[in-house]
Amino acid sequence: MSSFSGWAVIDLKDGRDPDEFTLALAAAHQSALDVMIEGARVFVFADFGVTLSSAVEKLMPEWGARAITASDFDEHGVTNEVLGPDGTAAHVASIEEEGVGLPDNDTVESRRAAAALFGVEPSALDEVAETWNEEGAQPSVLGVPYLRWWTALGAPWPHPFESTTVEPPTATGCGS
């Protein structure tokens, strides 16, 4: 089993409709998404979703207050990002398994910025940073290890994940 996937949790701005957002995200990602909505918080899983993070980044200024994304590149490593309302990464942590050159910005300062964005104690992020890459990316194991960051940020992945599939809109009226 491959763990190649994309993950996201997006806290929407006040007044933004989660159903409209998931349709916009599926269109931006150009692929079906499994989503679970809890009020203004949207959890997203994308099979083979390595472009999910960039799609979320693009939509953040219009839709989001804050977000966390994760890209699992299977045996090549994992990347976890905390995004601010403008779509800019406040914190990036990665585990590089095969020298792929994944981005990383896991510093004390970036953890403080992520903690402030989510209103949590920075010490929870410091604890994850100390040990999270000890076992590596763990290919073939979905959600490990990046979901530890999510729990520390107060946005744990829901169990069970009772999702709905959202398909991107199909192009109509496009003829030659």
Question: In which element (H, E) is residue 63 found?
Answer: helix 52-63
Instruction: Give the residue-averaged pLDDT of 142-164.
Output: 87
Q: What is the pLDDT of residues 62-114, one digit of tens each?
A: 999 999 998 877 667 788 999 999 999 999 988 877 656 677 888 999 999 99
Cβ partners under 8 Å of residue 114, min gap 6: 82, 90, 91, 125, 153
Averaged pLDDT of the chain:
86
Give the pTM.
0.88
Report the length, in residues, of the chain.
176
pLDDT number for residue 170: 79
Question: Residue 83: enclosing H or E segment and its boundaries?
Answer: strand 77-83
